[in-house]
């Protein structure tokens, strides 16, 4: 007898059956979980124990739904374009994609319509998905016969036994799990196509990648498409150009940001606020070079495992590295003195610009770049201080992110894989203490979190905090990492109460992540309508005609003298045109001056997206905007 937990939370019992799906009400569930293993519903139930059936409302269920959809996409393409060669087709955060080699051609919008129609036809066939396990060599022979070189390449790197999934005459290499049949996918939409290098390497063939999404209910698909349209409207690349904030130019290089005056001011406001909060909480400001001798990166280990992402060059017979990270520099500063336990914790912070070689296909506006500035910090503490330091970092993070306008977060605690301790630095006791310290800190702050076993980096466990923006998307910004590796490599110690040297516990933390990425997230979160305190230009003064420019200039100079970021638009254009332009540029306040304002020594106040607020004296307006800026409203 097997106990089954349905997606609704109800339980039912099932006697021995050939397939799990035979134990379920019709149409209930997508895949199953037994212990930590995910299974197809067409798999046999276990001999005993409990089975959890997962639906679309679970992450695993959605991934299986979208993964099956990607197989349907691949089958549709093969039926329409028999010469197409299959790449890979995983589920992604919201949907799926599949890569195809179609001999240098590209998919047109009309092609996508035909492929989508063919997918609906395959769904209507309700083809069962059948899992088959076989020796790797047998699978290689199968895909060689089917002239699928990319599948053969993947198979040659795999273990001796592999799994395939058949649906009708179509077969794909896949670990699964999958839905029972193609008919379980209801509503599908292909979104776009683009070029992508096979396996992300520029030296590999160019594939055509088709993106799509699917949902069990038509209304869910409609809402998703509306969110995508809203996301396009908020695209920071479009806003950056429209608001004259930044550019990326071929003459400079891919992934390198040129900040224009308004963008540089926005970046400065964000950086100054964050840095001011760090200094209030006991961080010490440091500044380090943009490059260092190669030997430093040998010691840190980056030369061994990260060199493909680094810019390395030789000068004067010596090898140098343009820094990809700030941590080795902060360690060198720490090591200039002998440190006592009484000196700890020591918290170094830096707005450190780093450079990493990212593949061209991964670059994306401000979100993925090759040169960026981190709000980086490294904390050196004793094991006994670790939990309090993590609590302090969490408090600081939530304070800053909430001030910036984010209220919802998703927290992930990445821990060591207990099955493979050999993959990680540090002792079992160090990992236990570190992971427990992170868990206790999260619980003390009442932060719900998802634990991700096996997702820790090799040098220590970590907490990642993802922001949820105004339209429900998540953005990875904050990371808090414990490091057992660098303290050992550099022998970073303190003298304890026993008079002996002990290795420090080192915490890496970046709260905004990178200024580039965070500014991009801010622009998309606010759709460019930044609050007054963040806006690079807070006020624009608009004289109605040349006769009032003198008074408008007095208003402008007074605003500047009071620290308000202001502009004067004294062009000989109509006031309607100047107001419309200021609205398009999303300037929070417009001060319009004409005859009445000159005579009364007032300003006519207009608020972006609100409209006219009436006449105020300059003192009244100054008090109003200063309060907004001070309160960071």
Q: Active-site positions?
A: 327, 356, 374, 376, 378, 462, 508
- Closest Cα partner for 459 from 499, 495, 423? 423
CA distance 594 to 579: 14
CA distance 605 to 603: 6
- Closest Cα partner for 282 from 404, 393, 187? 393
CA distance 81 to 98: 14
Q: Coil, strand, or helix at residue 619?
A: helix
* Dihedral sign of CA atoms 398, 404, 405, 406 in order: negative
Helix or strand (DSSP H, E) at 323:
none
Q: What burial letters (b/e) apply to 454-491, b meaning 16+ CB within 10 Å?
A: eebbebbbbbbbebebeeebebebbbbbbbbbbbebbe
Q: Are 80 and 114 in contact (CB under 8 A)?
A: yes
Prior bond to 345 cis, omega within 30? Answer: yes
CA distance 471 to 633: 20
CA distance 122 to 184: 11
Q: Are 181 and 127 in contact (CB under 8 A)?
A: yes
Q: Dihedral (C-alpha) 589, 590, 591, 593: value to the nearest 10 degrees?
A: -170
Number of other residues whose CB lies within 10 A of the CB of residue 546: 11
* Dihedral sign of CA atoms 230, 231, 232, 235 in order: positive
Helix or strand (DSSP H, E) at 193:
strand 187-197
**CA triple 461-359-251, angle to 5 deg:** 130
Tokens of 558: 């007074």
Q: Coil, strand, or helix at residue 343?
A: helix
In the block, which residue shows the tokens 């500035």?
373
- Closest Cα partner for 59 from 360, 332, 410? 410
């Amino acid at each position: 007898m097997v106990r089954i937990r349905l997606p609704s939370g109800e339980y039912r019992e099932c006697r021995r059956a050939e397939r799990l799906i035979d134990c379920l009400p019709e149409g209930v569930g997508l895949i199953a979980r037994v212990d930590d293993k995910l299974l197809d519903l067409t798999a046999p139930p276990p001999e005993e124990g409990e089975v959890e059936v997962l639906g679309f409302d679970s992450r695993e269920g959605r991934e299986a739904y979208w993964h099956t959809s990607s197989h349907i996409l691949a089958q549709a393409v093969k039926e329409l374009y028999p010469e197409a060669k299959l790449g890979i087709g995983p589920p992604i955060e919201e949907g799926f994609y599949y890569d195809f080699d179609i001999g240098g051609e590209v998919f047109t919008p009309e092609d996508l319509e035909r492929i989508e129609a063919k997918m609906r036809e395959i769904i209507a066939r309700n083809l069962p998905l059948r899992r088959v396990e076989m020796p790797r060599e047998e699978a290689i022979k199968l895909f060689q016969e089917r002239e699928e070189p990319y599948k053969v390449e993947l198979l040659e790197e795999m273990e001796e036994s592999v799994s395939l999934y058949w649906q009708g005459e179509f077969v794909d290499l896949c670990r699964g799990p999958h839905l029972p049949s193609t008919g379980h996918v209801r509503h599908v939409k292909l979104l776009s196509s683009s070029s992508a290098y096979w396996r992300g390497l520029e030296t590999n063939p160019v594939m055509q990648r088709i993106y799509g999404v699917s949902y069990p209910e038509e209304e869910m698909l409609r809402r998703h498409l509306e969110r995508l349209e809203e996301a396009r409207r908020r695209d920071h690349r479009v806003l950056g150009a429209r608001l004259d904030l930044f550019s990326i130019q071929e003459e400079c290089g891919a992934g390198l940001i040129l900040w224009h005056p308004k963008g540089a001011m926005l970046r400065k406001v964000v950086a100054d606020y964050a840095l001011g909060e760090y200094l209030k909480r006991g961080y010490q400001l440091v500044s380090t070079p943009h490059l260092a001798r190669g030997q430093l990166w040998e010691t840190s280990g980056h030369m061994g495992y990260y060199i493909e992402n680094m810019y390395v060059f030789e000068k004067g017979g010596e090898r140098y590295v343009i820094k990809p990270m700030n941590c080795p520099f902060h360690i060198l500063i720490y090591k200039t003195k002998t440190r006592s336990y009484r000196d700890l914790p020591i918290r170094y912070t830096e707005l450190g610009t780093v450079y990493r070689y990212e593949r061209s296909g991964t670059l994306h506006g401000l979100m993925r770049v090759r040169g960026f500035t981190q709000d980086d910090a490294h904390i050196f503490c004793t094991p006994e201080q670790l939990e309090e330091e993590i609590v302090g970092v969490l408090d600081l993070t939530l304070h800053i992110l909430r001030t910036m306008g984010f209220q919802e977060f998703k927290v992930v605690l990445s821990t060591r894989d207990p099955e493979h301790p050999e993959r990680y630095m540090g002792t079992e006791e160090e990992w236990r203490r570190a992971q427990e310290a992170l868990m206790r800190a999260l619980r003390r702050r009442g932060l719900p979190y998802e634990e991700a076993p096996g997702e820790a980096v090799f040098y220590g466990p970590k907490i990642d905090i993802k922001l949820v923006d105004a339209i429900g998307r998540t953005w990875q910004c904050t990371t808090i990492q414990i490091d057992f590796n660098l303290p050992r490599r550099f022998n970073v110690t303190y003298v304890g109460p026993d008079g002996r040297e002990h290795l420090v516990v080192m915490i890496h933390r970046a709260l905004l992540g990178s200024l580039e990425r965070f500014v991009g997230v801010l622009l998309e979160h606010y759709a460019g309508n930044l609050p007054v305190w963040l806006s690079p230009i807070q006020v624009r003064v608009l004289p109605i005609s040349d006769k009032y420019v003198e008074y408008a200039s007095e208003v402008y100079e007074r605003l500047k003298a009071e620290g308000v970021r202001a502009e004067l638009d004294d062009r000989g254009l109509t006031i309607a045109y100047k107001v419309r332009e200021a609205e398009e540029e999303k300037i929070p306040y417009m001060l319009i001056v004409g005859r009445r304002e000159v005579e009364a020594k007032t300003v006519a106040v207009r608020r972006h997206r609100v409209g006219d607020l009436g006449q105020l004296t300059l003192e009244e307006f100054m008090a109003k905007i200063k309060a907004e800026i001070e309160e960071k409203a």
